[in-house]
Amino acid sequence: MEKDLNKNLVRKIITMHDPEDEDFLIKSLKISGGRLIKRLPLVNGYLCEFPSEADFALAVRVDNDRIEIDDDIEFRLCWFYNPYVPISKPIPKPIPAPPIYGTDRVGWGLRRIGAPQVWEKLKRRRVRVGIIDTGIDFNHPDLTESIRGGINTIDGFPPQQFMDDYGHGTHIAGIIGATGRNARFFGINPYVDFYIVKAFDRRGKGNLSDIIEGLDWLFSNQVELINMSFSTMETNNTFRRAIQYLDAKGVVLVAAAGNDGGRNSVNYPGRFPEVIAVSATDKQDRIASFSSTGPEVNFCAPGVDIPSAWLNGQYKLKSGTSFAAPHLSGIAADLLNYYGFLPPTKVKEMMASGAVKITHLGNEQQGLGIVELPRIIY
């Protein structure tokens, strides 16, 4: 059952400057009628709920130099709901990579980045990939063998209930690492271990506190890279600290640029310098009309009519920067598989060395260009 919160309730993330001050926070909550929803140890934070703004003000009216307060920002998934209709332009169609595997089993996006050309070069090393999304269909024939763990961080749900009830997270996982073992569909890297965080509900909505809890869980499970196909126009210090911490610990972070279209529209977390931000292109190497662009874009990748896994063992075509991001996550997984551990800066550097500029796109649309795997794995 979805949580149905009273609109008058106020939720805040409260960070203690001194972790030993938890007792002070608990006393403040008792005075104000507030309650502790969850602890967020990654940022020394606590998600707290108050009956009203007045009660919240009462809780933090004294000694507020001991705490930092941030909103529990809401996020949205970066997929395009309606059938995609491109803006027609007289651009010549690019020459696709040779279809080494049958096109019915390999999506056009995988062929565009040259994924099939490096499959036989990959090693048996398993790469730990974290996905923060709507969960995963853990019965899907092309995914089930690769799932190593998962958690539901949404308030009011059992932690072990990370089954996808929306489809988005399953589609992301399929792009990155569908095994193709059941003669159905291939992902970019079939040698990944999935660690899944369900932080978005069946309406496709998620909150910062649930994402931070998921980041903490993924870090504790020693994932090497995390895909974040969601965005928000807002940010705060709590979110920034969480991202900086994981980057400093060597976790590769990949995010969708956002679906706001136009210039200077890249959203968070893609806007953070520690994160690889990905814009979306179509089969003609045109920038997707919905794709956010801006100086924060690092690379572009296929994001229109992308085939991948869906609920109940199905496969569907979907569009959005949501589905461009996992192309870069899959590329990162290939690099970590082939070369072993690489710090985030080295992963970006190697991606840059394999990126090709698309002549008819501007820098803010494509960043360093589209990464082609045969240029960096050979």
Tokens of 355: 């990126």
Catalytic status, residue 168: yes
Partners of 150 in beta bridges? 196
d(CA 150, CA 196): 4
d(CA 166, CA 198): 11
Residue 287's closest CA among 266, 316, 309?
266
Q: Which of 32, 70, 72, 133 is catalytic?
A: 133
Contact between residue 289 and residue 280 where contact means Cβ atoms under 8 Å apart: no
DSSP H helices, the chain, are: 22-32, 53-59, 108-112, 168-177, 208-220, 237-248, 321-339, 344-353, 363-366
The DSSP code for 96 is P
Partners of 35 in beta bridges? 49
Catalytic status, residue 360: no
Query: Is the peptide bond prior to 269 cis by the omega test (within 30 degrees of 0)?
Result: yes
For 160, counting Cβ atoms within 10 Å of its Cβ (0-12 exposed, 13-18 middle, 19+ buried), the class is: exposed
Residues 6+ apart with CB under 8 A from 88: none
Catalytic status, residue 133: yes
d(CA 141, CA 179): 9
Residue 229's closest CA among 176, 150, 186?
176
Residues 6+ apart with CB under 8 A from 123: 191, 337, 338
d(CA 269, CA 256): 8
d(CA 50, CA 201): 22
Task: Find the helix packing angle between 321-339 and 168-177, rounded to 10°.
Answer: 40
Partners of 43 in beta bridges? none
Instruction: Identify residue 131 by its one-letter amino acid code.
Output: I
Q: Which of 32, 137, 140, 168 is catalytic?
A: 168
Q: Which of 32, 231, 322, 329 is catalytic?
A: 322
Active site residues: 133, 168, 322
